[in-house]
Structure 1
Amino acid sequence: MDKKSIRPVLNLISVKSDENFQNEVLRPILKLQHEILILTFKNWSIQQKIKLVNLNKDKFQETLDKSFSKNVVIRNLILGIIIGQFTKDEFLEYQKNTSEFNRRIFSMAKQRLFDSFDQIKKDGNS
């Protein structure tokens, strides 16, 4: 079984090649890895002594923004979760515009985590 066959199929249309890569590769991988993304962020939060259960939605958004902009560890963990699912050809395409694709990965990952606030808080750390 190859990596592409386990990804969810999203029927998204795009014109630009960067958007095409985002819609055909990044979004399906983020959807596939959604639970791992949540578990990774929760585990990292515990290590950082961030009490997610005590946060309201606004504070959670601030925590996400600060974490993604200032913390190399969580950024690298998230990149590893996503890039590890690339095929060789996808990785070669990713390398052509790494900074733009990383920006898109972080933006979509933050949004997924934010949209999962209730689940994260319910299952959260104490």
Structure 2
Amino acid sequence: MATKIDLRQSLNIPISENATSTEVFQNQTLRPILKLQNDLYLSLFINYAIRQNADFKSLSTPKKNVMIEQSIQKDNGLKNIFIGMTIGMFTLEELKEYQSDSKVFNKRIITMIIKRIQSQINSSLLL
């Protein structure tokens, strides 16, 4: 049976000898999970955006970027869904690492998801 780690693509991100444990966790755990869950994050946000703003498709790129960032940061329900989707892919050991500084990791998760969604919506014909 495949483990959660087996599902993730190896990103081969070089780890500096000066890297903090937070940076190592981000690069070895968070980034592969975000890549794995990418289609789900994107689909969830597109559905959310259409429900919240019927004319989201007609917004300019800068206005879309602002809406993406503000929606994810300020809508606690949406933010918690994204964080939960990420945490759900942790192993028990990764969960223990996450719990050691969850506030910092949550901020990193949300920042990376915002950037992913912004770049994909702006570089495609999705919306």
TM-score with structure 1 setting the length: 0.90
Query: Is it true that 1:110 corresponds to 2:114 in the alignment?
Result: yes
Aligned to 2:126: 123
The runs of at least 4 consecutive aligned structure 1 residues that moved more than 6 Å come to none
CA contact (8 A) 2:9 2:32 kept: yes
Computed over aligned residues only, the root mean square deviation of the Cα atoms, in angstroms, reads 1.5
Matched residue count: 123
Counting only pairs closer than 5 Å after superposition, residues 1-126 of structure 1 correspond to structure 2 as: 1-12=2-13, 13-14=15-16, 15-118=19-122, 122-124=125-127
Inter-CA distance 49–39: structure 2 relative to 1 (3 Å threshold) = same
Cα offset for 1:95? 0.5
Q: Which runs of 5+ in 2 are unaligned?
A: none
Cα offset for 1:6? 0.9
CA contact (8 A) 1:38 1:113 kept: yes
Mean Cα deviation higher: 17-26 or 74-83: 74-83
CA distance in 2, matches of 1:45, 1:64: 8
* Aligned residue type for 1:55: L
CA distance in 1, matches of 2:4, 2:103: 23
CA contact (8 A) 2:8 2:36 kept: yes
The secondary structure found in structure 1 opposite 2:90 is: coil
Q: Percent identity?
A: 35
Cα offset for 1:81? 1.4
CA contact (8 A) 1:45 1:51 kept: no
